[in-house]
Copies of this chain bind each other. A is one copy, B any other.
Amino acid sequence: MPTPIEKLKLGWIGTGRMGYEMAARLAKGGCDIAVWNRTKAKADPLAQYGARVVSDLKDLAARDIVFCMVSTWDDVKQVIGRLLAGSAKPRMVVECSSISLDGSAELRGILKEKGVEYLAAPVSGNAKVIKAGKLTFVVSGPRPAYEAARPYLDMMGTGSSYVGEGELARIAKICHNVMLGVVIQNLCEITILAQKVGMPRHAFLDFLNKSVMGSMFTRYKTPALVNLDFHVTFTPRLLRKDLDLGLDAGREFEVPMPVTSITRDILQQMIGQGMTEQDFSTLLLAQAKASGLDLKPENVQVTDGLSS
């Protein structure tokens, strides 16, 4: 039975686009939460929901659970180092950033030495998904730690899934991103086909999104595919990195992944052609080009399935 959620003291590190929304949900939910961010001004608005914004990372060391949501493994290493620099230490750290398997394992070692429990808890979703209350977590580490943290994780979205010990959650997230890559490429193939046959993209995607094949992902990518707004949510090179991590795991565990391999190669073709600075969904443009089609925005208002 987990401790009633109002009883645990929470710490939060990192209030970027995603971290801010996540911390806000905990604060609004009535949690006792203290927040730190490198640029404090970005965290300050959280005070309105009852969060305490601190200037010194060490002020989070005595919290029960400290969540970490920053950008890179280097950032994680640095903030955790400073968090634990004094004599106080939290019961548990829950690391939600997108870090590598190796980074996650190194962090586990660092925390173990200090006697701090550790959950790897990467997320599925972006800032808009969080705002819409639909974030999910995949979690690995000691099960009792998960049971303690679970109420807070679930409060941030629609739930969490526990997949086992160690860094398994990192692999699960890589698998998730592999699927994201394959599905976007497949969407590009069939959307361009539908268009060349005579359907407007928005009409075809309206059907697909309502159909059994539709997912939150296909829906929130629809505005990009219809109106060709390719501001970055995830770069082609970052997607390639995750596909390569998936393929590396496939090599190590001897799992052939042909559909993944081909998706990776098509992405590389696009990167090779210099399409690296916009969103990975420019795969649609590459697919159109390879199909002899000059793509135009349809300028039709379409929903992303998240906005209210």
Contact = CB atoms under 8 A, between A and B. Distances in A.
Range for the number of chain A residues in contact with chain B = 35 or more
A29 to B, nearest CB: 19
A41 interface: no
Given A172-B204, A190-B179, A264-B261, A210 B249 contact: no
Contact of A269 (B178, B203, B216, B256): B256
A269 B290 CA distance: 4
Question: Can you tell how many copies of this chain the complex includes?
Answer: 4
Interface in A247-302: 249-251, 253-266, 268-269, 271-274, 287, 289-293
Interface in A108-122: none
Interface of A: 124-125, 129, 134, 136, 138, 158-159, 161-166, 168, 171-172, 175-176, 178-180, 182-183, 185-187, 189-194, 196-200, 203-204, 206-208, 210-218, 220, 244, 246, 249-251, 253-266, 268-269, 271-274, 287, 289-293
Contacts of A183: 179, 182-183, 186, 213
* Complex A-B, nearest 8 residue pairs according to Cβ-Cβ distance, in ascending order: A124-B211, A161-B207, A256-B268, A175-B190, A269-B290, A261-B261, A212-B216, A215-B215
Among A138, A194, A217, A287, chain B packs the most CB atoms within 10 A around the CB of: A194
Nearest to A179: B213
A254 B292 contact: yes
Contact of A213 (B176, B211, B265, B289): B176
A265 B273 contact: no
Contacts of A176: 190, 207-208, 211, 213
Contacts of A165: 198
Contacts of A192: 255
Nearest to A178: B190
A199 B163 contact: yes
A262 B258 contact: yes
Contact of A254 (B210, B212, B272): B272
Given A193-B249, A212-B216, A214-B215, 17 more contacts: A124-B211, A136-B211, A161-B206, A163-B194, A168-B198, A176-B207, A179-B183, A179-B190, A182-B186, A189-B250, A189-B259, A212-B215, A258-B266, A259-B263, A261-B264, A268-B290, A272-B293
